[in-house]
Amino acid sequence: MPRAQKIALAVMAAFFLLAPLAMYPIFLMKAMCFALFACAFNLLIGFGGLLSFGHAMFLGTAGYATAHAAKVWGFPPEFAILFGTACAAVLGLVTGLLAIRRQGIYFAMITLALAQMIYFYYLQAAFTGGEDGIQAVPRGVLFGFIDLSNVWAIYGTVFVIFMAGFLLIYRVIHSPFGQVLKAIRENEPRALSLGYDVNRYKLLAYMLSATLAGLAGATKALVFQLASLTDVHWSMSGEVVLMTLLGGLGTVFGPVVGAFIIISLENYLAQLGAWVTIVQGVIFVICVLTFRRGVIGELGSWLKKPL
């Protein structure tokens, strides 16, 4: 890891460790869940060049699966999260097999269509509680001795999951697989002509992204003790695009910053009601027009160091 990135990593870890002294832990946990979600999304578009417009289906599916497992089946939190994440991985495999056959806007449209099908299924299905969602999900006792109803216990757990997910994504980007993925993003026909079965690489990237988005959704369900339709709605798929663009597409730390900004806006401007969407829209337009590389992308190019 280059020095600039090591410093950024230390700053990020220190921030999330110290911030609860000054900010609401629940808000910070939400930010970490969305940061992981955005990082997972960025893995696919920033390094694989695939714009998914249906990533909410992984966030939401893992959330429902985790909530159901914890509440109805009485799974302990570690298995509930594992189960939710595994459901997202399977959904990633199935939808990936269909979606990666097409490129560009068609890929985005297929993922959107699949996500909408999933949304309407959850709207109708009995176990999701429809408009009410699955409420009062027990957080349980992690590994049999860490009671997650304690706010610091859950905070620590979310922090560890977030950091582990982040570092895993970092490793994927900087692995032999990541190199091939970048080559495919840069020039797909050339990668093909060098003998790489590009579709299999794309499928693996898509599945990894889906799984990690699922991990974010599963964790979020335990934090808020809730799984609801908000997380599978198409606007959530749009929001993660916004987070990633704002922070810096294809950067390592950008999605974390982007997610933090968007969650802060939603949180601190909540009294503006529907105006939040308009503020987000304005920010999006400004971002695209003036700093296209996103906050971290611009910072990185100013420092001449990739972040």
Partner 1 sequence: MANDVILETRGLTKEFKGFVAVQDVSLKVRRGSIHALIGPNGAGKTTCFNLLTHFLEPTRGQILYNGREITGSSPASIARMGLVRSFQISAVFPHLTVLENVRIALQRKRGASFDFWRAEGVLNELNAKARELIESVGLAEFETTAAVELPYGRKRALEIATTLALDPEMMLLDEPTAGMAHQDVDRISALIKKAAVNRTVLMVEHNLSVVEHLSDRITVLQRGEILAEGDYKTVSVNPEVIQAYLGAGHG
How far from 272 is each of 77, 212, 262, 267, 279, CA to CA, in Å?
Answer: 36, 32, 14, 10, 10
Residue with tokens 């893992």: 62
CA terminus-to-terminus distance, the chain:
10
Minimum distance, C-beta of residue 254 to partner 1, in the bound complex (Å): 16
Q: Which is nearer to partner 1, 140 or 248 (CB)?
A: 248
Residue 115: CB minimum distance to partner 1, A: 24
Nearest distance, CB of residue 183 and partner 1, angstroms: 5
3-state secondary structure of 170: helix
Q: Rounded distance, CA 275 to CA 266, Å?
A: 10
> 3-state DSSP helix/strand/coil percent for the chain, to nearest 5?
75, 0, 20
CB 191 to partner 1: min, Å: 7
Query: What is the nearest approach in angstroms of partner 1 to the Cβ of residue 250?
Result: 9
Q: Which residues make up the interface to partner 1 (CB under 8 A)? A: 171-172, 174-180, 182-183, 186-187, 189-198, 200-201, 204, 208
Cβ closest to partner 1, residue 203 vs residue 218: 203
Beta carbon nearer to partner 1, 28 or 191: 191
Q: How many CA atoms lie within 13 A of 197 on its CB side?
A: 3
Query: Among residues 132 and 197, whose Cβ is nearest to partner 1?
Result: 197
CA 14, 287, 114, 130 torsion: positive or negative?
Answer: positive
Q: Evaluate whether 71 touches 222 at the Cβ level (below 8 Å).
A: no
Nearest CB to partner 1, comparing residues 27 and 196? 196
Q: Which is nearer to partner 1, 266 or 298 (CB)?
A: 298
Contact status, residue 218 vs residue 47, Cβ threshold 8 Å: no
Residue 106 CB, nearest distance to partner 1 (Å)? 19
